[in-house]
Copies of this chain bind each other. A is one copy, B any other.
Amino acid sequence: MTPSPEPQATAERELCGLVNGLAQQITDHVRERAVPLGLTAAQATALREMTGPMTMRELAERMSCEPSNATFVVDKLEKLGLIERRAHPTDRRARQLVLTPEGDTLRGRLLELLAQDSPLAGLTAEQQRTLQDLLEHAIIRR
């Protein structure tokens, strides 16, 4: 065994593990509720983030993934008739994503399912606020 690690660094590493663990739990939760609707976890995540018309890049950012991945997922949603790629009103490089009526309806059902047994239900409203503060604080870089 190599030299003993700094306790500080170890604590940080474990904390990263916890963050990843919770993120994984959230994804599992999404997947569970997506499958009965005929969606994969990735598709459901995209649908969930479609709070209104947006570009590919905006969607990718909301999904915390690369734009090329958003292309992949939106392709699927488009084939399912849930989303449309329109010309962007002011930027000819970009596409404007819009939910179809079917997509909007399905999104509504999805959101209902997602609200049930949230992975964060173990926290009180105040704890959730604290968590949000900390995460926002930790994330604001880059």
Interface residues of A (CB under 8 A from B): 1-3, 5-6, 8-9, 11-27, 48-49, 52, 62, 64-65, 104-105, 107-108, 111, 114-115, 118-120, 122-123, 125, 127-128, 130-132, 134-142
- A17-B64, A130-B134 given. 17 additional CB < 8 A pairs? A2-B104, A2-B105, A2-B108, A6-B115, A12-B115, A13-B48, A15-B131, A18-B135, A20-B26, A21-B135, A22-B23, A22-B138, A23-B24, A24-B64, A120-B138, A122-B141, A123-B138
Number of copies: 2
* Contact between chains at B48 and A128 (CB < 8 Å): no
Can you report 30 A-B residue pairs in the complex whose CB atoms are below 8 A from each other?
Answer: A1-B52, A2-B108, A3-B108, A5-B111, A9-B114, A11-B128, A12-B118, A13-B111, A15-B120, A15-B128, A15-B132, A15-B135, A16-B118, A17-B49, A18-B136, A19-B22, A19-B23, A20-B23, A20-B27, A23-B23, A23-B24, A122-B137, A122-B138, A122-B139, A122-B141, A127-B134, A130-B134, A131-B134, A131-B138, A134-B134
